[in-house]
């Protein structure tokens, strides 16, 4: 236990300079996410066209395609890396879930204490939205942006830069500057929490979605009850995308292994022929 703690603390103060292609893709994905989010929430709005354009831009384009699809494509299909390199891992799962409950129990009650929750018909779609978008944000901001920045610069620079990007991302929600300053510190809190286990399951499905739900209720966002189904479907699509990527990696390993063995066998047989 003491060795693991020492390694964890040592990992926090490591500084490096290894910028690469990953950071270019991170920057592109950040621009795409913010631009599509701004289009959905500011230009189009939740009330336009019965909420369908807002849903398609926000949940499908921003969260699913740019927020989940692009990082998964780059890490798994282009870099041939494991899905755990996006913080999606069962390692330390029990510890992550326990810590998540503890953090949520400390942070969330104070925020909900002074809130008046709406009726079920208004609350249900907000909960579903928070679960779907919370899943996207946990992967995108912690598993994608934070982990790539840490690989390039170390944890402390990654947490600071990642939190600045996380706060600036809320330009897409048309938030004022003072609220974005507050969100910078929220980003730091999430980054430190994530670093404890390296798993998104220390943030999702309770801690980070709970904070988002609090914000949605405060802002008075109203969505039709039917939107609940849409956001749950989007969450399912995100999970399926991740599952398919893991299947792809497993198939790649199965194809590569026999090829490697074939080459090794051929090499040995050629050596025997030469000896003869």
DSSP 67: I
Residue 84 lies in a domain: yes
From the number of C-beta atoms within 10 Å of its C-beta (0-12, 13-18, 19+), residue 276 rates as exposed
Residue 13 lies in a domain: no
Residue 75 lies in a domain: yes
Residue 255 lies in a domain: yes
Predicted TM-score of the model (pTM): 0.90
Residue 57 lies in a domain: yes
Q: Report the alpha-carbon distance of residue 219 to residue 217 in Å, rounded.
A: 5
Residue 68 lies in a domain: yes
Residue 122 lies in a domain: yes
Residue 50's region, left for phi above 0, alpha for psi from -120 to 50, else beta, is left
pLDDT, one tens digit for every residue, the chain (276 residues): 556 666 777 778 889 999 999 999 999 999 999 999 999 999 999 888 888 999 999 999 999 999 999 999 999 999 999 999 999 999 999 999 999 999 999 999 998 988 999 999 999 999 999 999 999 999 999 999 999 999 999 999 999 999 999 999 999 999 999 999 999 999 999 999 999 999 999 999 999 999 999 999 998 988 889 999 999 999 999 999 999 999 998 888 776 655 444 444 443 434 433 444
Q: Report the alpha-carbon distance of residue 229 to residue 233 in Å, rounded.
A: 6
The count of domains in the chain is: 1
| Residue 256 structural domain | 2-8+18-275
Residue 246 lies in a domain: yes
């Amino acid at each position: 236990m003491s060795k693991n703690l020492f390694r964890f603390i040592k990992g926090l103060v490591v500084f490096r300079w290894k910028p690469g292609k990953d950071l270019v893709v991170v920057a592109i994905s950040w621009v795409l996410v913010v631009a599509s989010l701004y289009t959905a929430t500011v230009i189009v709005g939740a009330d336009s066209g019965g909420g369908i354009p807002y849903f398609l831009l926000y949940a499908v384009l921003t969260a699913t395609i740019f927020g989940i699809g692009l990082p998964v494509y780059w890490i798994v299909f282009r870099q041939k890396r494991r899905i755990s390199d996006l913080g999606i891992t069962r390692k330390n799962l029990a510890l992550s879930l326990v810590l998540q409950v503890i953090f949520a129990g400390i942070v969330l009650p104070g925020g909900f204490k002074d809130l008046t929750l709406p009726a079920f018909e208004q609350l249900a779609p907000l909960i579903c939205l928070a679960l779907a978008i919370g899943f996207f944000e946990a992967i995108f901001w912690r598993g994608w942006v934070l982990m790539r920045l840490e690989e390039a610069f170390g944890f402390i620079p990654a947490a600071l830069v990642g939190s600045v990007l996380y706060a600036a991302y809320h330009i897409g929600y048309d938030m004022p500057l003072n609220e974005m300053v507050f969100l910078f510190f929220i980003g730091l809190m999430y980054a430190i929490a994530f670093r404890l286990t390296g798993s998104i399951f220390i943030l999702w499905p309770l801690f980070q979605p709970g904070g988002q739900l609090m914000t949605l209720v405060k802002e008075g966002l109203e969505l039709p009850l039917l939107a609940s189904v849409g956001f749950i479907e989007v969450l399912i699509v995100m999970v399926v995308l991740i599952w398919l990527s893991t299947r792809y990696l497993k198939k790649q390993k199965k194809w590569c292994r026999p090829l490697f063995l074939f080459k090794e066998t051929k090499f040995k047989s050629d050596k025997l022929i030469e000896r003869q």
